[in-house]
Each structure stands twice: as structure tokens, then as C-alpha cells.
Structure 1
Amino acid sequence: MPAIVGSVNIVNLGSSGVFHIGDVFAIRPISYSKTFAGAGSFNVGESVSVYNYQSTTNVSDNDNIDQPIAFTN
């Protein structure tokens, strides 16, 4: 159902965000990311003590495609 929309102020829109005004059938934002994390990463809690004196994270990735986003249209 059409509507009359007044002025719109967009402050920030992320790279995988969707801004839409009006009628729509389906909105499917697509994004992908790759995360590298070493030992002791992603710890949550009130008092976390992690001691990693010799820790390395291998970020070498020789392949071109990890998980393709295909057939989305």
C-alpha cells in the first residue's frame, strides 16, 4: 500500500545494510567476512586471565574462494 513519506535523514548505512522506502516483495542483504583469531581470542567474562607467551596465528590463505555466495538473485 503506497504511503507518503516526509523528509528522511540517513546518518550512516553499513556496507551490507538495506535502506528501503515503499513496497517490496523480498529484501535479502548479502555480506561475508573472514575472521582470524589467535589463542585466547573471543573470551568473555568478568575476570579473564589468559597467558599465551608463544602464540601465532597463520593468516595465509592460498585459495581464492572460501565459500562463494552464489545463486542469490
Structure 2
Amino acid sequence: MPAILGALKVISVGSSGVVHVGDVLIIAPKAASKTYAGSGSFNTGDFPSTYNVVSSTNTNDQDLVDANVAGL
């Protein structure tokens, strides 16, 4: 079913991102990533306030493959 949109503003799209406006059956971007961050790293809002006396992030990963991504 068609959609009626007003103004659409796309600030940025990553290298494997998908922007689609309209009808679609399947959208399957081909990418995988891992992000490490300490406590309070991804806080959002107008006045974020975090109190972290000691923070450490374990980045040791014993897996060889976390997500198998294959393209056509």
C-alpha cells in the first residue's frame, strides 16, 4: 500500500545502510559490527549525568567469527 510522506531529511547513511521509501518485501543489509563501550558511554538526552568511579570494558573475544555475513 502506498504511503504519503511529508518532508524527509536523511542526515547520513552508513556504508551498508538502507534507506527505502515505499513498498518492500525484504530488506537485508550485508554487514556486521561489534562496538565496545564503557559504562555511561551511550547516554542521550539534554542533561546526561553519570557517576562512574571505576569503569572497565572487557574487549577480549575468543570467537573467531561472531556473525557470518554472506552476500549474493
TM-score for the superposition, normalised by structure 2:
0.56
Deviation at 1:16, TM superposition (A): 3.0
Query: What are structure 2's unaligned runs of at least 5 residues?
Result: 1-13, 18-26
What residue identity is the alignment partner of 2:54? Q
Deviation at 1:28, TM superposition (A): 5.9
Greater RCO, 1 or 2 (C-alpha within 8 Å, sep 6+): 2
Partner of 2:64: 64
Q: Distance in 2 between matches of 1:15 and 1:45?
A: 27
Matched, 1:48 2:48: yes
Q: Report the RMSD for the aligned CA atoms in angstroms.
A: 2.6
CA–CA distance in structure 1, aligned partners of residues 43 and 35 of structure 2: 15
Equivalences for 1:1-40 in 2 at 5 Å?
15-16=15-16, 29-40=29-40
Consecutive unaligned residues of structure 1, counting only runs of 5 or more, are: 1-13, 18-26
Separation (CA, whole Å) in 1 of partners of 2:43 and 2:56: 17
Letter in 2 for 1:61: D
Deviation of the 1:29 alpha carbon: 4.5
Q: Letter of the aligned partner of 2:59 in structure 1?
A: V
Of the two, which has the highest radius of gyration? 1
